[in-house]
Amino acid sequence: MTETTFLPDGYHALQPGKLASLVTFLEMTECPEKPLRPAPAGYALEPIHRWDTDAFLDLYREIGWEWLWSSRLLMPREKLEAKLAASHMRSWCPMKNGRHMGIVEMDLSQPHETEISFFGLVPDAVGSGIGGWLMSEAIGIAFARPGVKRLWLHTCHFDSPQALPFYMHMGFTPYARAVEVHDDVRLLGRLDERAGPHIPMIRNGRLPDLK
């Protein structure tokens, strides 16, 4: 068991080029007693049996551009390809007219719990009413696995302000918070500099005097 280190109260400097986000973890420990929602007109949920890495990255950037999704852009390509092909990783996409309109990715590596590692919609699908249907489907899939007693996910304050209330509305309960520190992918040239406009990019950062 690793020891958990907690940040003390006060300000804590970040190295130049780094970002920090406040992450909220949420869980549900039983499947809600609600009927599955019907698919919106023109939509179908399709499993992705094998990702083309470039197609995955294109969709990942499209969904996460505004919210500065970064983790898969920071991975070396070989590691990303291995993760996408791993037997415990599963993905489903809402499809409309042959186009990927979002993604649900799950990590099934633990026998009694499932993690929704990514959940999101392309920008022009947001507000169309498919989010509730998509999450309802994801919850049903997760708890259909024999022995699963817990479904969890996380979101951060870089994400859409609608994300946390949406997850809670769907039945998830917040249970923990953490601070995540990572490189600003825009500075690394792996995401357009205009991405995440609500998170200023500091090109020539310097450490602040926090005394």
| Domain ranges across the chain | 18-32+39-183
Element spanning 44, H or E? strand 43-48
Bridge partners for 89 per DSSP: 107
Give counts: helices (H), strands (E), the chain.
5, 8
Asked if 41 and 90 count as a contact pair (C-beta separation under 8 A), the reply is no
Percent of the chain whose pLDDT exceeds 70: 99
pLDDT exceeds 50 at position 48: yes
3-state secondary structure of 40: coil
pLDDT digits (tens, 9 = 90+) for 72-125: 999 999 999 999 999 999 999 999 999 999 999 999 999 999 999 999 999 999
pLDDT exceeds 90 at position 3: no
Distance CA 147, CA 152 (A): 15
Q: What pLDDT band is residue 11 in, cutting at 50, 70 and 90?
A: very high
Compute the CA torsion angle 191, 122, 117, 182 (nearest 10 deg). 20
At 205, phi and psi to the nearest 5?
A: -70, 155
**DSSP category for residue 113:** E
pLDDT exceeds 80 at position 30: yes
What per-residue confidence (pLDDT) applies to 1?
43
Q: What's the mean pLDDT when you consider all of the chain?
A: 94
Distance CA 80, CA 60 (A): 12
Q: What pLDDT band is residue 176 in, cutting at 50, 70 and 90?
A: very high
At 141, phi and psi to the nearest 5?
A: -60, -45
pLDDT digits (tens, 9 = 90+) for 113-170: 999 999 999 999 998 889 999 999 999 999 999 999 999 999 999 999 999 999 999 9
pLDDT exceeds 70 at position 10: yes
Burial call 44-67: b when 16+ CB within 10 Å, e when fewer = ebeebeebeeeebbebbbbbbbbb
| CATH 3.40.630.30 fits domain 18-32+39-183 | yes
3-state secondary structure of 153: strand
